[in-house]
Amino acid sequence: MNKRSFLLGLSIIAAVLLPFLPLLLWSVSNQWFYPALLPQQFGLRSWQYILSTAGQQITEGLVQSTSLALVTTCCSLTVALPAARALGLYCFPGKKAIGLFLLLPIIVPPLCVSMGYHLWFIRLGLAETFAGVVMAHLTFCLPYTIFVLWGVFTDYDPDFEHQARSLGASPIQVLVNVTLPMILPGICIAALFSFLLSWSQYLSTLIIGGGRLLTLPILLFALMDSGDRPVAAAVSLVFVLPALFALLVNAHFLGRQGMTGVR
């Protein structure tokens, strides 16, 4: 039984990591023509390009992407938590309409949303600023965050909070010791969604950021066009690794915590 679950785990890991193998091979190949199975010549040309010539841009992109994604995630959690609690715990007229309304940014093409924003953001002085781009990203992250947390709060029993209060806990103690531990797995998933969505935004960053904020996707998309597969593969790896890291940390955290607190 143990051996079987080990094999299962191994095959899952292989299924997740195997697609990265060609990327890794491409990034260290100097010559790779059909029909050879492996590169005919290995070399570090693409990594040299990324680390030396484009090094400054890539570092700037990494910092920019990470800080944007983190700030967006924090903002979206701050807004989404109260909203999801209200939607999950209370019944009020128009609840379904609000749910539909929240889905709008996902239904409307991102190009229309971004172009519409651009005009207004220029007038408000928000275009080409960090705050403006965060707001644009929030449009796409918020629906997902709210929907994930909405589900969490549907299964949430506020009586635990009342119980703690009646036992003499202060509101802050209730929040820290009762509410947060119970919804933490849900928060982790919502935060991950938000982080990854913001991390992979291209169009809205380009239009609202106007090139002042050079994130990794912008650098990656520009290079994807080159047909220089080794360079594109290397940039893709740089792009994927932090996201993969966030995913693994989250999975590890969730695995330890389990979903025990939810019900």
Under the binding rule (CB under 8 A), the answer on residue 20 touching another protein is no
Task: Tell me how far, at minimum, the Cβ of 240 lies from another protein, in Å.
Answer: 19
Which one among 210, 242, 254, 261 touches another protein, defined by CB under 8 A?
Answer: 210
* Binding track, positions 97-136, relative to another protein; x by CB under 8 A: ------------------x--xx--xxxxx-xxxxx-xx-
The C-alpha atoms of residue 235 and residue 252 are separated, in whole angstroms, by: 26
Under the binding rule (CB under 8 A), the answer on residue 27 touching another protein is no
Which one among 54, 69, 148, 178 touches another protein, defined by CB under 8 A?
Answer: 54
The C-alpha atoms of residue 205 and residue 235 are separated, in whole angstroms, by: 18
Amino acid in the structure at residue 2? N
Location of structure tokens 């715990």: 89
Under the binding rule (CB under 8 A), the answer on residue 47 touching another protein is no
Closest by CA to 241, choosing from 48, 73, 54, 27, is 27
Q: Where are the alpha helices (DSSP H) in the chain?
A: 2-17, 20-27, 45-48, 55-89, 95-107, 110-124, 130-154, 159-166, 171-174, 180-199, 203-209, 216-224, 229-257
Closest by CA to 186, choosing from 41, 31, 79, 81, is 81
Under the binding rule (CB under 8 A), the answer on residue 59 touching another protein is no
The C-alpha atoms of residue 110 and residue 211 are separated, in whole angstroms, by: 18
Judged by beta carbon, residue 54 or residue 185, the one nearer another protein is 54
Which one among 9, 22, 43, 171 touches another protein, defined by CB under 8 A?
Answer: 43
Which one among 47, 221, 244, 254 touches another protein, defined by CB under 8 A?
Answer: 221
Residues that bind another protein (CB under 8 A): 29-35, 41, 43, 45, 49, 53-54, 56-57, 75, 78-79, 82, 115, 118-119, 122-126, 128-132, 134-135, 206-207, 210-212, 214, 218-219, 221-231
